[in-house]
Amino acid sequence: MALQTPTPRMEYESVNPFDGKTLKTYVPITDAALEAKTAAAQACYETWRHKTYAERAAIVAKAADLMRAKRDELARTMTLEMGKRLDEARGEVTFSADILAYYAKNAERFLAPVKLNPKVGTAHMESSPLGVIFCVEPWNFPYYQLARVAGPHLMAGNVIMVKHAGIVPQCALAFEKLWVEAGAPAGLYTNLFISHAQSDAIVDDARIKGVALTGSVAAGKSVAAKAGANVKPSSMELGGSDAFIVLEDADLDHAIKWAIWGRMYNCGQTCCAAKRFIVVESVADEFLSKFRAGLAALEPGDPLDETTTLGPLSSEPALLELLKQVDSAVARGAKLALGGKRIDRPGSFMQPSILTDVKPNNPAFREEFFGPVALFFRVKDEDAAIALASDSDFGLGGSVFTKDETRGQRVASRVETGMMFVNNISWSDAELPFGGIKYSGYGRELGDMGIQEFVNKKLVRFGKIDAPPTVSKITPTNGKS
């Protein structure tokens, strides 16, 4: 029998997690095509960097307008590719457009020269772009993740090349098309269907001046190490295991609504989702009872159906990994207060689940559960809640619920994390910087901080200042000393 050439594995495959049907597949581009795209991006940068803020804003704002006009179309593509419920998908498209519009409006103010006051003369700090920025982005927010790198970095005068997640290729193409329709010059925003090996190679490329990644801790360590070896700046957002603290004086009905939303928004597949529920003992039983009832009431269904309250996970591998985590946690002593199993129906659906009695020696105590699984802890008091909230390898976000806002501020200041919310988990505002510490990564996106990650902060000092006296008093004479 003659040997057959094996079919190359698809790196980019669009599969509907609601029914498991493959929608479209794409193969990585060739090395020659990658070189052509990189060259085009570099050429674009040489002109884009000199555009005024108003000229850049005209294109970025137009892309925002197009997102709003195409909201339903873009949302449907997202729902089909990764299972986000349609109303949540529409909300993501709107927020993504808001981010682009926010930077189109505010970039010039954020990057304006900052006057300094030296003892002699005058000085300022000015900002200038670095060049081509390579971005690696995840599937859980297919447009929002792209908008929060495109808005600030394009307005700063950089250009970007993006490797999006392999399961949302149609979203990746749709976002790139927005820029073409907005009038962006060739090379300004480039989607890349590339392999992991090609991704490594592009980080090594001298034309790439910075690297931004949102993804797993393992991916972050790998890409950050490669960027560091090339002495290139990078920003990393690597997930979280956010604490949801409920103190004894909390408004429980209010807290429960946020608890359900905080754990189940995007089917729990959110880096800054509420994942560890830390409740003071005196209200723990009541909270757990209401929390369990709220999660159990969610009904699985087609995420395109407006009445569905529980959509599928993003993919079959994601579901299997989460089930494996739950089984491992239980095998090591944790108890299931709710769920823990796959839902018996087509698609990648999992029961909303609650794990209790998760001890520090259980690997689950340190893990991130990226899906509809909540970890529930009882604590004695406020100090114990803060200690447990901070006892995590991650440090992205967190929240505290109390009727006393002064107390809430105190708790928020003491928890070791990148973001804290008092009586809410409302992070969806372009004005609010987003990022964390520890294994959650470094750097910030959004707000005025987000545009500062990949710019040169140059000091310029003015003044005719006398040079210091020389070390020796030798006076040259006819070229000789």
pLDDT for 45-73, tens place per residue? 999 999 999 999 999 999 999 999 999 99
pLDDT tens digit at each of 481 positions of the chain: 333 333 344 589 999 999 999 999 999 999 999 999 999 999 999 999 999 999 999 999 999 999 999 999 999 999 999 999 999 999 999 999 999 999 999 999 999 999 999 999 999 999 999 999 999 999 999 999 999 999 999 999 999 999 999 999 999 999 999 999 999 999 999 999 999 999 999 999 999 999 999 999 999 999 999 999 999 999 999 999 999 999 999 999 999 999 999 999 999 999 999 999 999 999 999 999 999 999 999 999 999 999 999 999 999 999 999 999 999 999 999 999 999 999 999 999 999 999 999 999 999 999 999 999 999 999 999 999 999 999 999 999 999 999 999 999 999 999 999 999 999 999 989 999 999 999 999 999 999 999 999 999 999 999 999 999 886 655 555 555 4
Between the alpha carbon of residue 56 and those of residues 26, 39, 50, 158, 461, the distances in Å are 31, 21, 10, 10, 28
Work out the number of other CB atoms within 10 angstroms of the CB of residue 8: 9
Kindly state the helix (H) or strand (E) to which residue 331 belongs, with its residue range.
helix 316-331
pLDDT in tens, 123-176: 999 999 999 999 999 999 999 999 999 999 999 999 999 999 999 999 999 999
- What gap in Å lies between CA 141 and CA 119, rounded to an integer? 49
- What gap in Å lies between CA 472 and CA 354, rounded to an integer? 77
* Average pLDDT taken over every residue of the chain: 95
Q: Which residues contact 33 (CB under 8 A, 6 or more apart)?
A: none
DSSP codes, 13-66:
EEE-TTT--EEEEE-PPPHHHHHHHHHHHHHHHHHHTTS-HHHHHHHHHHHHHH
Is residue 90 in a domain? yes
Residues 153 and 30 in one domain: yes
* Residue of 271, 367, 445, 453 with catalytic role: 271
pLDDT in tens, 81-99: 999 999 999 999 999 999 9
Q: Does the annotation count 11 as an active-site position?
A: no
Is residue 43 in a domain? yes
pLDDT number for residue 470: 81
- What gap in Å lies between CA 202 and CA 87, rounded to an integer? 37
* Residue of 92, 137, 176, 237 with catalytic role: 237
Is residue 4 in a domain? no
Is residue 432 in a domain? no
Residues 205 and 301 in one domain: no
Residues 370 and 356 in one domain: yes
Number of separate domains in the chain: 2
Q: Which two tokens stand for residue 338?
A: 């709710």
Between the alpha carbon of residue 4 and those of residues 8, 27, 137, the distances in Å are 12, 19, 35
pLDDT number for residue 474: 54
pTM score:
0.94
* Full residue range of the structural domain in which residue 400 is found: 242-422
Residues 275 and 400 in one domain: yes
Is residue 481 in a domain? no
CATH number at residue 169: 3.40.605.10
Is residue 473 in a domain? no
Residues 213 and 291 in one domain: no
E strand intervals along 320-477: 335-338, 353-356, 373-379, 394-395, 398-401, 421-422, 437-438, 441-442, 455-462
Per residue, the 3-state secondary structure of 172-216, as one string, reads: HHHHHHHHHHCCCCCCCEEECCCCHHHHHHHHHCCCEEEEEEECC
Is residue 171 in a domain? yes
Residues 417 and 365 in one domain: yes
Q: Which residues contact 312 (CB under 8 A, 6 or more apart)?
A: 17, 18, 83, 267, 300, 303, 319, 347, 348, 349
The number of helix segments (H) and strand segments (E) in the chain equals 14, 20
Is residue 272 in a domain? yes
Residues 225 and 322 in one domain: no
Residues 190 and 267 in one domain: no
Using a 10 angstrom Cβ sphere, with 0-12 exposed, 13-18 middle and 19 or more buried, the burial of residue 449 is middle
* Amino acid sitting at position 459: L
pLDDT in tens, 217-247: 999 999 999 999 999 999 999 999 999 999 9
Residues 161 and 253 in one domain: no
Looking at the DSSP assignment, which residues form a beta bridge with residue 342?
Answer: 350
Residues 262 and 228 in one domain: no
In three-state secondary structure terms, 366 is coil
E strand intervals along 339-372: 353-356
Residues 28 and 104 in one domain: yes
- What gap in Å lies between CA 70 and CA 72, rounded to an integer? 6
pLDDT number for residue 11: 83
- What gap in Å lies between CA 160 and CA 99, rounded to an integer? 16
Residues 87 and 217 in one domain: yes
Q: Does the annotation count 46 as an active-site position?
A: no
CATH number at residue 335: 3.40.309.10
